[in-house]
C-alpha cells in the first residue's frame, strides 16, 4: 500500500486536491495497488463524494465533544467519510505521549483506522504499545530529501523495526525521501508492508505516472 500525504502543498489543496485524488484513483485502478490519499480535513468530504476513494485524515485531536476551539474531532472526520487517520506525524506532533494515546483511543472509538509515526526505535516500541493499525518509521531529517531515502539510508533500522513490531503483530510503513521504484522495492524487501510518500508524488510533473512507477515496487 502507498499512503500519499497531501500535507498543505498548493498542488494538493482545495480544487487541486481533487485533481490529485483523481490521479491516485486512476493509478490505483491501473496497478491494483492500494493507494490512499491522506488529505486536509477540509477536503475529505469532497474527495470521498466525488472520487469514491478510501480517504484518510492527516490528524485528529485527543478531544471529545465540548469546548475545544480549533480542534479536529474524530467524529467529524469520520462523518465526512475518512476511513483512517495519521497520528503524530513529525510535522503534527502531539504535546505528550499520553495525548497521542488518547488520540489513538478516540480514533478507535469512532471506527477510524490509525497510523502512528515514530522517528526512532525507542518511540516505535512505545507507540506500538498503543496498538494502532500501522506504525510508520519516518526519520524527520530525511523528509523531502532528494538525494537519499529512509530505505537507502536506514535499512538496518527498518529491519529492526519490523522484528520489533512482530511481537505486537503491527505492520510497518516507512516514509521519508521515497522517490522511486527502488526505494519501494527495498522497503518491502526489508519487511515493510507499504510506504508513505509526499513530495515525490505531490510535486511531480505527472503524479499519475510517478505513482504507477512507485506501484511497480510491489510486483
The residues that are catalytic are 89, 138
Which residue of 74, 178, 204, 214 would you call a contact of ligand G3P, by CB under 6 A? 178
Q: Which is nearer to ligand G3P, 80 or 138 (CB)?
A: 138
- Please enumerate in sequence order all residues whose Cβ is within 8 A of that of 31, keeping only pairs 6 or more positions apart, or say none: 211, 212, 215, 216, 218
Which residue of 144, 155, 191, 216 would you call a contact of ligand G3P, by CB under 6 A? 144
Which residue of 77, 124, 151, 176 would you call a contact of ligand G3P, by CB under 6 A? 176
Q: Which residue is closest to ligand G3P by CB?
A: 199
| Max Cα–Cα distance, the chain, nearest Å | 49
Q: Where are the alpha helices (DSSP H) in the chain?
A: 15-31, 44-51, 74-80, 97-110, 121-128, 150-153, 155-166, 181-189, 199-202, 207-215
Cell numbers at 153, concatenated: 539510508
Which residue of 36, 82, 143, 161 would you call a contact of ligand G3P, by CB under 6 A? 143
Is 196 one of the binding residues for ligand G3P (CB under 6 A)?
Answer: yes
Is 5 one of the binding residues for ligand G3P (CB under 6 A)?
Answer: yes
With contact defined as beta carbons under 8 Å apart, do 69 and 101 qualify?
no
Using the contact rule CB under 6 A, the part of the chain among 14-22, 63-71, 173-181, 211-219 near ligand G3P is: 173-181
**Least CB distance to ligand G3P at residue 41 (A):** 16
Site residues, ligand G3P (CB under 6 A): 5, 89, 138, 143-144, 175-178, 196-200
Amino acid at each position: 500500500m502507498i499512503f500519499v500525504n497531501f500535507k498543505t502543498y498548493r498542488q494538493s489543496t482545495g480544487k487541486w486536491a481533487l485533481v490529485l485524488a483523481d490521479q491516485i484513483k486512476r493509478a490505483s485502478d491501473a496497478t491494483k495497488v492500494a493507494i490512499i490519499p491522506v488529505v486536509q480535513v477540509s477536503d475529505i468530504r469532497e474527495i470521498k463524494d466525488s472520487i469514491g476513494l478510501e480517504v484518510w485524515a492527516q490528524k485528529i485531536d485527543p478531544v471529545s465533544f465540548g469546548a475545544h476551539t480549533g480542534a479536529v474531532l474524530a467524529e467529524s472526520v469520520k462523518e465526512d467519510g475518512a476511513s483512517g487517520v495519521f497520528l503524530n506525524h513529525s510535522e503534527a506532533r502531539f504535546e505528550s505521549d499520553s495525548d497521542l494515546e488518547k488520540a489513538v483511543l478516540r480514533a478507535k472509538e469512532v471506527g477510524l483506522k490509525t497510523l502512528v509515526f515514530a522517528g526512532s526505535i525507542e518511540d516505535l516500541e512505545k507507540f506500538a504499545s498503543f496498538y494502532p493499525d500501522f506504525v510508520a518509521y519516518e526519520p524527520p531529517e530525511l523528509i523531502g530529501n532528494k538525494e537519499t531515502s529512509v530505505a537507502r539510508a536506514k535499512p538496518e533500522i527498518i529491519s529492526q523495526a519490523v522484528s520489533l513490531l512482530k511481537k505486537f503483530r503491527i505492520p510497518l510503513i516507512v516514509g521519508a525521501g521515497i522517490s522511486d521504484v527502488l526505494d519501494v522495492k527495498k522497503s518491502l524487501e526489508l519487511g515493510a508492508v507499504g510506504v508513505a510518500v509526499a513530495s515525490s508524488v505531490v510535486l511531480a510533473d505527472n503524479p499519475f505516472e510517478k505513482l504507477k512507477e512507485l506501484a511497480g515496487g510491489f510486483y
